[in-house]
Structure 1
């Protein structure tokens, strides 16, 4: 048997427990004999995680539900397999229901043709839908559901006392979950979600990738400022509000302005 290494009361992160990174962060939240998993990662690592859970002496039959933080393949490809092995249910945001049920390879980013990426996305039903403000009970633990859209429209985070299991909202280096129009990213919503995290009294952020870190307002402010800048950048295409350069170009064309030092040839 393994000695449990909780990172917070009632919370084990399975990669940290294993001493090696097998995939995205998978949080096992438990009280007494009841437990849940928040995310499961890729299908190929499901057996590894379940074996760790067995060796931690958690009753396999007492998995209350499998929670999807959002519907991206690196978080949920293994849901169908884990659900079958653990004989349990799946919980997620209403916006995650259809892509998970359909096994949608585009919205989940399982298939990116331009990068020659094509992963299986086994379909899985979501029995329990949760929204902002809902509570997920695990024994006597109450997880408060936060809907934090931006990275995707289904992104969830979960508050447990001073800790926020914060999904793909922000990482210790100030990076954020990928912004991609194909899976429901929204820059303005992302800013609001990060402001909510920044302004909360949560002390610790436990993300879906990488190490746990303190809720640092300066870090959040730098990231929010950078993200706001994306709203005026062509880099982010249809997700940007505008491209100020094109307004400048309109004026310069109307006024016949060329760069200083550029002398056009005579007709």
Structure 2
């Protein structure tokens, strides 16, 4: 059967194992059902996720013009400490920025390769952790806006990584750390503005179980720009990656906006 459409990040359903879905305009595909089966992926073109035009994708599924004009990809997305909606100051679109920034956010520790610190909207947990391929995650603070989450993350970056080593994550070369004990070290490291929000519940550790038949020892990344036609046997799904039995991995998230045909 053939599925065709614009790639967007896989939708997920928390469970044991996590369920993954590729959703197209007129169809969807439960990717878990493809484990241990051959898949053919063919690159057909581009379509910007913002304007819908058939333009080459620049970053995050957006064409060049949209990436530098859309409020949904402002600098405060990657660097939440730059958020200014709580001050009534716009970056690109204050209405949009107030909607996103002025809602509960959490700062967390996640175990995806080594311990990392990160920020997400409360509504995005555990989705954010699944997208990062975290094996475990725990909340540090829950704050009322993105700015407070951002300054907390900045304060902790000197103690923890803020990015996932994707090769370690996909080979499951993950060090074991007790995140509950690790969190107890942090209360005096976070800014005074967020001390009152420190999260000290005992039983809020999330554990993620991914549908992986076998982890590869080494991985190589598939780029549809370089390899427009690919075929391989699906061995697992973790984060936003498809893992094939020959060690090839395909990052769906970084391929958003690519129009593809998938034959299963």
Q: Which has the larger radius of gyration?
A: 1
Give TM-score scaled by structure 1 length: 0.24
Greater strand share, structure number: 2
Greater helix share, structure number: 1
Give TM-score scaled by structure 2 length: 0.24
Higher relative contact order (CA 8 A, sep 6+): 2
